[in-house]
Amino acid sequence: MTSVNELRDLVNLKEGVVSAKVHFDQELYERELDRVFGRSWMVVGHEDQIREPGDYITNYMGDVPVIVIRDQQGKIRVFVNSCAHRGNQVCLFDRGNAKSFTCSYHGWTYDTSGNMIGAAMEKEVYRGELNREGWGLDEVPKVASFKGLLFASLDGGAMNLEDWLGEATCWWLQHSVLSDHLGGLEALPGWHRYKTPGNWKLLSENFIGDNYHVFAATHTSALKAGRDMLNEGVWTAPGTSPGPWGEKTFDLTTNYGKGAPLGLGLVVPGSGELSHGRDLQDAERLGPEAVQWVEERRRRNEEALEGRSVYGFMHGLIFPNMGLMGFHGPLYGRSFLSFHPRGVDEQEQWQWTMVEKDAPQSVKDLAAQRVYQGQHMAGSIAPDDVENLERMVEARSSPRTWRRGFHYRMMLGHDGEGGPTNLPGTLGPTPSEVNQREFYRYWLELMETE
């Protein structure tokens, strides 16, 4: 078993070097399923996805399949999606509404509170001796909602959610991710799911703060195509996808040096004059309702945040594996992406999209279209990332290649340099790799703790 000292050699934060072994070693992978996913609070959905009693979605917590359901009394619960009899899945669908779940193997049945309420041929084969109590669905011990965003932990002794998140993370989640002061978010139906090569951490670290790849190489063709469309007078959703282009941007990390990090990339503090102007131009194409919403949204933002306003951010990650994309303005759908581990060199992405609840329908439609044609497997952005992950697996899965670590030294020693001080957390230059270093700092902390 890899010792604590060996782990610290693999994740050398002082030098800004992380070994490829952390992505490809089977023993480390099994340890992180227990120590990272077994101890962390994880996002499992949003209350708007389960509005009525009996509404449910399925998801994963690490490699554990779960059902997230609002029971008949209105309480939100999370159950392991496995029958107590022989372990078969009891819920076979991504979402729906149910009064009970019946296992397709032997017919054991459970209500929405997880209680066993019946079994096939119960009187004949159990002679009235089946003790249903104690044979219900395995319930995840910790479930909490933060402004509608649902978290769960497999650790019954986990600290309070808001303590785990920390004050700065709570501020950014409330005001910049969930837009509580703007009226909140509305979930669009359905999941987008696909498997990709690569360890789950490779995409998590990409989302937590890798702005470098956007402009340096990976997405340059998509950005050029958008500019060419605009130059030719072609107005399409992907061609005019908004971004903080020309703005003074920063990278944000919360709980710097201690605790679970929230990392956001390309943060636009203040009123975002350039971004707001572009959003107004796009809104004019949609009509007066859209223009009114863009202006109203700005007014609410400045009024509620009292000098700490933020126009938006491009991407981010809630540790350990909840990616965020599209939070840089009112005309782009907000994507929540879970990077579920499927072995050392494979992951499965589950993505759902939300729009601002109070926005007019024309804005919601455009926002959704921009997601599907952008950060989506059939869009213009996500395939670029998947190709990189595939090549990384091919190039570095052999242990012979692990002797040289990955380079994480960008802006090392300049983490909070030049960022605004009136906002919670540590804001510094972009592009930077401070958020990636913070990701591995907390990963290491969990991995080395017995």
User: Please, are residues 149 and 48 in contact by the beta-carbon 8 Å criterion?
Assistant: no
Residue 200 lies in a domain: yes
CATH number at residue 71: 2.102.10.10
32 pLDDT higher than 60: yes
Are 110 and 200 found together in one domain?
no
Domain contains 177:
no
Would 2 be classed as within a structural domain?
no
Check whether residue 299 and residue 435 sit in a common domain.
yes
Structure tokens at 44: 């499992």
Tell me, what's the pLDDT at 29? Answer: 97
Number of domains into which the chain is organized: 2
In a domain, 352, yes or no: yes
- Burial string for 126-160 (b: 16+ CB within 10 Å, else e) reads eeeeeebeeebbeebebbbebbbbbbbbbeeebee
Give the domain-ending residue among 108, 142, 176: 142
Listed range (117-126, 138-147, 262-271) with the worst mean pLDDT: 117-126
Kindly state the helix (H) or strand (E) to which residue 27 belongs, with its residue range: helix 26-35
Write down which residue in 90, 122, 142 finishes a domain: 142
Query: Where is pLDDT greater, at 220 or 68?
Result: 68
Token pair for 226: 């958008």
Residues 133 and 198 in one domain: no
Q: How far is CA 63 from the centre of its chain?
A: 16
Q: Average pLDDT for residues 143-164, to the nearest whole number?
A: 97
Give the domain range for residue 49: 42-142
**Residues 434, 428 contacting (CB under 8 angstroms):** yes
In a domain, 6, yes or no: no
Interval 236-253: pLDDT, tens: 555 445 567 778 999 999
Task: Report if residue 166 sits inside a domain.
Answer: no
Give the gyration radius of the chain's Cα atoms: 23
For residues 340 and 258, state if they share a domain: yes
Q: Dump pLDDT digits (tens) for 154-197.
A: 999 999 999 999 999 999 999 999 999 999 999 999 889 999 99
Residue 361 exposed, middle or buried by CB count within 10 Å (0-12, 13-18, 19+): exposed
How does pLDDT run across 210-226, given as a tens digit for each residue? 887 777 777 677 767 76
> Is there a single domain that holds both residue 342 and residue 411?
yes
Amino acid, res. 52:
E
The answer to whether position 295 is within a domain reads yes
Are residues 131 and 189 both part of a single domain?
no
pLDDT of residue 230: 66
Give residue 328's identity as a one-letter amino acid code. H
CA 348/CA 196 separation, integer angstroms: 6
